[in-house]
Structure 1
Amino acid sequence: MSLRVLIIDDEEPFANMLQAMLTRSGYDTQVVHRAQAGLDLLQSESFELVLCDMKMPQMNGLEFLDAMKEQGLHSTVITMSAFGTIDLAIEALRRGAYDYISKPFQRDEVILALRKAEERERLRARVAELETHVARLDAIEGGDRPLIGKSEALRLLKEMLVKVAAFPTTVLITGDSGTGKELVARAIHRASPRRDEPFIAVNCGAIPETILESELFGHVRGAFTDAKSDKPGLFRDADGGTLLLDEVGELPGSVQVGLLRVLQEGEIRPVGATRSIPVNVRVLAATHRNLEAEVQEGNFREDLFYRLNVLPIHVPPLRARVEDIPLIAEHILKSIASRMNVAQSSLHPDTMKILIGYPWPGNVRELENVLERAIVLAESSVLQPADLPIQLQHATDPVQVTLGSDELSVKKATLFIERELIKRALERTGGNRTQAAKLLEISHRALLYKIKDYGLQNHGQR
């Protein structure tokens, strides 16, 4: 796309000649003959570059530069003058001009000045893009409950969050229970343009079906027996901000219809109301269920699923990022110490080995519970293996731990065991994936996918 150049010069023949020259060189140009007209145009339209004459009636070039600064206009300005001196050029640069060229000039001279300014614009745009990226990443990694870890799986997740945070698009966050889906939603909100507006989280499975529609969409007075006054509802409470619908798979059919209206039309209809109310809310949804399977079984609306699943984000389980466990454990210990107003505990190396080797079916939430229990029962500030629950103390074989646990989900148990078998095959073959695939009796391609899913890219390599 060609850059837009605004030419400001009171000499109409010269301005028209310059416009024709630049147009032939591929620039999108526009001409005005007064500095004030240029300011007005810059307020309403975007120009990357401005060529401005220094000597004009009513407002000269230096005054134009001052006015641009006062009005917060950031186009790159190259000044021109047939009456130029070194002092005038220096003053123009001091007031914000990028370059100064003397009239009359050769075509190559002005094109070279514009090319240099173009490069400056590209660099400035790139710096602004990087600054925005870093600011969003800082927001995602900050907050009271940040996403902790440096694993490849978490790095990829954070990169995805940086991308989706900038847009108001609906996001469906999936993952096992306890992986931190609400933390991911809060991170998206913190890094988004809505960061200063409300963030409201609601667990759809924790509210009785009879009042869920009223809680979400509100009601008018007299809508039902106990409706003694109007209630705005959570969507209006979150207006301008973000609403997280946790466990969205639990929504009953009647409420799914109302949610679909919000996503399609941007409006809600309170219970008992005769007209809809517009709302400006970014919807984030989270679930540990397989909503595609729920759609196939007729438990979830297909059209609503596609509206929610615009940007799917999967939160990896703790077993897929075991290298993050030491950092997460350290953060949890610090948080518990602050909350309980006690000295911070530390982990004995043998205790840490057990935590790293355990498959954590309950993910980070289970790790939090285990460490809090250990702190309460421990005899010293250094947590020993004996301070851990019995099932962790004997967790020498993850496969046996999984089979001996209270976990009855065939899907979860299969994932635990499959990951452990892949680890063993990679260790036995020194990271040779072709040989490991033969031992596992699966295709090489299938193994590559599973290695990525389980975060085992570097496992077994010598």
Structure 2
Amino acid sequence: MRDTTAILLVDDDRYLAESMALWLEEQGYFVQTAGSLQAAKLAIQAQTFDLLITDLRLDDGDGFDLIAHSKKAAPSCEILVVTGYATPQTAIDAVRAGAFDLLTKPLIDEELTLAIDRAQSQRLIQTENESLKQQLDRRFGMENILSHDYRMLKLFDVVDNVADAKASLLVTGENGTGKSMIARAIHRRGNRRDKPFIEVACGALPDNLLESELFGHVAGAFTGASNNKVGKFKLADGGTIFLDEIGTASPAMQVKLLRVLQELQFEPLGGTETETVDVRVILATNEDLTANVAAGTFRQDLYYRINVVNIELPPLRERVGDIPLLVKHFLEVSMESLNRKIEGFDSQAMQVLQRYSWPGNVRELENIVERATLLSRSPVLTTEDLPADMVRGETPTHSTSQRPAPTVAGNRSASEIAYSISEGRVASLREALEEPERQIILETLRMFQWNRAATADALEINRTTLYKKMKRLGLDDPRLQFAN
């Protein structure tokens, strides 16, 4: 490390500076000296240094002025103060000004080299932290939102234009389209990027708990409130707060939110002291707020207050061209996390993915790719690695139109069940009976709260047979347990 470490040594005692520089050069450091405040500023302007070692008393100025100048002009340069007039308060003032450490004259060789090594270690840590921060910015920035769709590209321009805006932003779109990612990208690209980003799922909490979550509460505000609690608005002070599922807010909560958005002031639950914050508010919903306003379930004044800039995310089914790009990205992520090697989906499987309606949008696609990567035994993913219901809704490879999925056998005749005609193709008996079988098993699983042993007994089949049928019919996906 020493042969690459550049040190600027500043001291108005020329003989002391030259002697110290010579000794440091013998230790393997590159050293440049400066005898005044002005000379040191010129040196910092002309060259990059890893470490600044300076006295506090200079002929033409104060060492604190040099510290302030260095922190502004060369923030990555660590600062070590060396002085013969040190007091405990001097040390405190130097560290507050930006110095890493303070040493007193006369110097001990080992003490100086130890301080330099510690300063360099600190610089490396800061460099690594900056690298991690840049990776985080890429993770949540626009670089991670993949799309070639022209509407998404225009949306990216909007995000850049509003990144520094103080006005509230409304992000709309179906579940799974990436509203949270857009909100984080706006925060990361704006001037509040170094401040907190706080996310609140408004639909996950009842009204009284949501108020406490947003605005905090004082001790005794309600049963169980034994201590004061700081709310999310206060925690987001100086940064961004993201309110997801805003369409679920009750009328009473809407009134409170309107005041906060207008005045950036609120009182904690049960408290009387008014809090003032500086936050940028981003809201999101998958509901049609215009229809909600017309129906009287959402306040019109709040709607106009939050709808200053509306970013509407298109569903995945309307940007099919992005599916191969997204699949490639999700495959790379899944292979890394699961430590598996997958070449990709074959052409038939990709056709299935591109013709599917994607009610869960990008989030559903990510889960499907991860599931296929986890369960596949081959490096090439095929339709067998996709959920059965997705594949059944896909057109045969020789047909250009989609064959309707068979419906539950209710009013259909036996011949209709056995032979489903589509583009001249006769469906097999097994194909025709798959959907009724799937519906019967699914309803029985739901009846017994997904207890497979009870389901197998009710259907009068053994559990092994049930497991095989569930896998073949796409009923082994755990997300089905939580679907309506």
The interval holding the TM-score normalised by the smaller chain is: 0.5 to 0.7
Q: Is the 8 A contact 1:141 1:148 kept in 2?
A: no
Structure-1 separation of matches of 2:401 and 2:207:
39
User: Shift of the alpha carbon at 1:405?
Assistant: 9.7
Structure-1 separation of matches of 2:364 and 2:357:
11
> Where does 1:226-265 land on structure 2 (aligned, <5 Å)?
226-265=224-263
Corresponding residue for residue 26 of structure 1: none
Larger radius of gyration: 2
Cα deviation digits, residues 391-410 of structure 1 (max 9, x gap): 2223335996887799xxxx
Corresponding residue for residue 334 of structure 1: 332
Residue 227 of structure 1: SS of its match in structure 2? coil
Unaligned runs of 5+ in 2: 1-68, 74-133, 409-484
Residue 218 of structure 2: SS of its match in structure 1? coil
Q: Is the 8 A contact 2:140 2:181 kept in 1?
A: no
Corresponding residue for residue 174 of structure 1: 172
Structure-2 separation of matches of 1:266 and 1:405:
54
* 1:367 aligned onto 2:365: yes
User: Shift of the alpha carbon at 1:145?
Assistant: 8.1
* 1:349 aligned onto 2:347: yes
Taking a change above 3 Å as real, the CA distance of residues 401 and 365 of structure 1, as seen in their structure-2 partners, is farther
Q: Is the 8 A contact 2:342 2:373 kept in 1?
A: no
User: Shift of the alpha carbon at 1:338?
Assistant: 2.5
Q: Which of 322-331 and 397-406 deviates more?
A: 397-406
Corresponding residue for residue 383 of structure 1: 381
Residue 202 of structure 1: SS of its match in structure 2? strand
Q: Is the 8 A contact 2:334 2:370 kept in 1?
A: yes
Q: Is the 8 A contact 2:197 2:239 kept in 1?
A: yes
Taking a change above 3 Å as real, the CA distance of residues 249 and 290 of structure 1, as seen in their structure-2 partners, is same
Structure-1 separation of matches of 2:214 and 2:404:
39
Cα deviation digits, residues 71-93 of structure 1 (max 9, x gap): 999xxxxxxxxxxxxxxxxxxxx
Residue 173 of structure 1: SS of its match in structure 2? strand
Q: Is the 8 A contact 2:216 2:269 kept in 1?
A: yes
Q: Look up the equivalent residue of 1:194 and give its one-letter code.
A: R
Structure-1 separation of matches of 2:311 and 2:234:
26
User: Shift of the alpha carbon at 1:351?
Assistant: 1.5
Taking a change above 3 Å as real, the CA distance of residues 376 and 139 of structure 1, as seen in their structure-2 partners, is closer
Taking a change above 3 Å as real, the CA distance of residues 213 and 70 of structure 1, as seen in their structure-2 partners, is closer
Structure-1 separation of matches of 2:363 and 2:405:
20
Corresponding residue for residue 439 of structure 1: none
> Where does 1:48-447 land on structure 2 (aligned, <5 Å)?
143=141, 146-344=144-342, 346-397=344-395
Residue 203 of structure 2: SS of its match in structure 1? coil
Cα deviation digits, residues 9-57 of structure 1 (max 9, x gap): xxxxxxxxxxxxxxxxxxxxxxxxxxxxxxxxxxxxxxxxxxxxxxxxx
Q: Which of 375-384 and 281-290 deviates more?
A: 375-384
Structure-2 separation of matches of 1:245 and 1:228:
27
TM-score normalized with structure 2 length = 0.53
Q: Is the 8 A contact 1:391 1:401 kept in 2?
A: no
Structure-2 separation of matches of 1:180 and 1:399:
30
Q: Look up the equivalent residue of 1:366 and give its one-letter code.
A: E
User: Shift of the alpha carbon at 1:374?
Assistant: 1.4
Residue 200 of structure 2: SS of its match in structure 1? strand
Q: Look up the equivalent residue of 1:360 and give its one-letter code.
A: W
Residue 205 of structure 1: SS of its match in structure 2? helix
Taking a change above 3 Å as real, the CA distance of residues 255 and 193 of structure 1, as seen in their structure-2 partners, is same
Taking a change above 3 Å as real, the CA distance of residues 297 and 335 of structure 1, as seen in their structure-2 partners, is same
**Equivalent residues, number:** 275
Structure-2 separation of matches of 1:405 and 1:210:
44
User: Shift of the alpha carbon at 1:209?
Assistant: 2.3
Unaligned runs of 5+ in 1: 1-68, 74-135, 407-462
Structure-1 separation of matches of 2:244 and 2:404:
27
Taking a change above 3 Å as real, the CA distance of residues 140 and 402 of structure 1, as seen in their structure-2 partners, is farther
Q: Is the 8 A contact 2:141 2:189 kept in 1?
A: no
Structure-1 separation of matches of 2:353 and 2:323:
7
Structure-2 separation of matches of 1:399 and 1:365:
27
Q: Look up the equivalent residue of 1:256 and give its one-letter code.
A: Q
User: Shift of the alpha carbon at 1:226?
Assistant: 1.3
Identity %: 44
Taking a change above 3 Å as real, the CA distance of residues 372 and 227 of structure 1, as seen in their structure-2 partners, is same
User: Shift of the alpha carbon at 1:342?
Assistant: 3.0
Structure-2 separation of matches of 1:239 and 1:401:
55
Structure-2 separation of matches of 1:284 and 1:165:
11
Corresponding residue for residue 101 of structure 1: none
Structure-1 separation of matches of 2:272 and 2:255:
16
Q: Is the 8 A contact 1:149 1:327 kept in 2?
A: yes
